[in-house]
C-alpha cells in the first residue's frame, strides 16, 4: 500500500517542484558602467546578448537570468575597442539541458557614439534595437539575429542554423547568408540588399521599392509583399512555382514602368510569390 501511494504521489511532487523551479523570476545584476567607445567586439558561446540605447553617455552592462555569475562575462578595452567575451568554463553534462532560458547580457550604448559592432556567437541569440551604426557584422552557428528600429550603413550577417529577423530598419547595404535559417524582413528600406539561403525561407513583408534586391534560395520559398506597388522595377525570377501579382507588370518584358530598379527572386526547388 505504501509503495502504491509513493508511486502515485512521487510524479506529482516532481511535477510541482519543476513548476515552482520554472516560475522563479529572472534576476538582473549589474556588471559595470564604462566610458563610451565607438567600436565593440563581442565573442559569445551560449549566452544571449541584447543591445539598446543608453539613457546617458555611458555604456551600461548587465546580465539577466537565473543562477547568474558576473565572472561569466569578461569586459576589457583593447586597441580602442570595447570587448565583451564569454569566459570559457568547464562544461558539465547538465549545461546542455535547458529547463530555463539562457541568461542574456544587456548592453546599453550612448546614442550616436557607437560606429561599428562585430558579434560572433555559437548558440546565443543577438538582439540589436534602436541604434545608429556605420557597420554591423554578425556571425553565428545556431543563434538567431534580430535587428529592430535600426539605421545602418552596412551590415553583414552569416548564420548556419539561426534565423535572421529585421524590422522597421533602414540599412543601406546588407548581405545575409544562411544555411538552414529563415530570413524575415518587415517594413525596412535600403539600397543594395542580398539574401542567400540553402534550406531557409525568405519572407519580406511591407517591402518598399529599392534600387537593388536579390533573394536566392536552394530549396526554400521566397515571398515578397510590397507595401505599395512598385513604379519602376525589373524582375528576374526562377523556381518551380512562380506567381507575380503586381499591377502594371508586363509578363513578356518582366518590367514595371521603366524598370529602373532591380528585383531578383530565385529558388531551385521552392516557390516564388511576389505581390
Q: What is the pLDDT of residues 41-62, one digit of tens each?
A: 999 999 999 999 999 999 999 9
CB atoms under 10 Å from CB of 250, counted, come to 11
pLDDT for the residue numbered 20: 45
Q: The domain containing residue 223 runs over which residues?
A: 202-275
Residues present in the chain in total: 275
57 inside domain:
yes
Whether residue 167 sits in one domain with residue 257: no
The answer to whether the beta carbons of residues 206 and 224 sit under 8 Å apart is no
Whether residue 206 sits in one domain with residue 177: no
CB burial string 36-51: b at 16+ within 10 A, e below: bbebbbbebbbbbbbb
Q: What share of the chain is helix, strand, coil (3-state, %, to 5)?
A: 10, 50, 35
194 inside domain:
no
Whether residue 175 sits in one domain with residue 58: yes
* Count of the separate structural domains present in the chain: 2
Closest C-alpha to 207, from 229, 177, 232: 229
Task: Measure the CA–CA gap between 7 and 232, rounded to whole angstroms.
Answer: 72
Whether residue 137 sits in one domain with residue 47: yes
Three cell numbers, residue 198: 540553402
The answer to whether the beta carbons of residues 128 and 117 sit under 8 Å apart is yes
Q: Which residues of the chain have pLDDT under 50?
A: 15-22, 93-94, 97
Closest C-alpha to 117, from 91, 71, 145, 83: 83
20 inside domain:
no
129 inside domain:
yes
Whether residue 237 sits in one domain with residue 161: no
Whether residue 153 sits in one domain with residue 42: yes
Which pTM value belongs to this model?
0.86
1 inside domain:
no
Whether residue 171 sits in one domain with residue 127: yes
Q: Element (H or E) spanning 20, and its range?
A: helix 2-23
Amino acid at each position: 500500500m505504501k509503495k502504491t501511494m509513493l508511486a502515485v504521489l512521487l510524479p506529482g511532487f516532481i511535477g510541482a517542484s519543476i513548476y515552482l523551479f520554472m516560475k522563479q523570476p529572472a534576476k538582473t545584476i549589474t556588471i559595470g558602467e564604462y566610458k563610451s567607445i565607438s567600436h565593440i567586439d563581442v565573442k559569445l558561446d551560449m549566452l544571449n546578448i541584447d543591445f539598446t540605447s543608453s539613457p546617458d553617455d555611458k555604456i551600461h552592462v548587465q546580465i539577466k537570468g537565473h543562477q547568474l555569475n558576473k565572472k561569466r562575462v569578461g569586459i576589457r578595452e583593447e586597441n580602442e575597442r570595447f570587448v565583451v567575451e564569454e569566459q570559457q568554463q568547464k562544461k558539465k553534462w547538465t549545461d546542455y539541458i535547458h529547463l530555463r532560458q539562457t541568461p542574456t547580457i544587456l548592453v546599453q550604448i550612448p546614442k550616436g557614439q557607437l560606429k561599428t559592432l562585430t558579434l560572433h556567437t555559437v548558440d546565443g541569440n543577438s538582439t540589436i534595437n534602436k541604434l545608429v551604426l556605420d557597420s554591423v557584422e554578425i556571425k553565428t552557428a545556431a543563434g538567431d539575429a534580430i535587428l529592430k528600429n535600426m539605421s545602418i550603413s552596412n551590415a553583414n550577417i552569416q548564420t548556419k542554423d539561426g534565423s535572421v529577423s529585421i524590422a522597421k530598419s533602414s540599412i543601406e547595404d546588407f548581405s545575409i547568408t544562411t544555411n538552414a535559417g529563415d530570413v524575415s524582413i518587415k517594413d525596412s528600406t535600403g539600397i543594395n540588399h542580398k539574401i542567400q539561403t540553402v534550406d531557409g525561407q525568405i519572407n519580406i513583408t511591407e517591402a518598399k521599392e529599392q534600387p537593388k534586391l536579390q533573394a536566392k534560395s536552394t530549396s526554400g520559398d521566397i515571398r515578397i509583399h510590397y507595401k505599395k506597388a512598385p513604379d519602376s522595377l525589373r524582375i528576374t525570377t526562377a523556381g518551380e512555382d512562380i506567381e507575380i501579382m503586381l499591377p502594371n507588370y508586363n509578363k513578356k518584358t518582366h518590367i514595371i514602368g521603366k524598370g529602373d530598379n532591380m528585383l531578383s527572386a530565385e529558388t531551385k526547388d521552392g516557390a516564388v510569390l511576389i505581390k
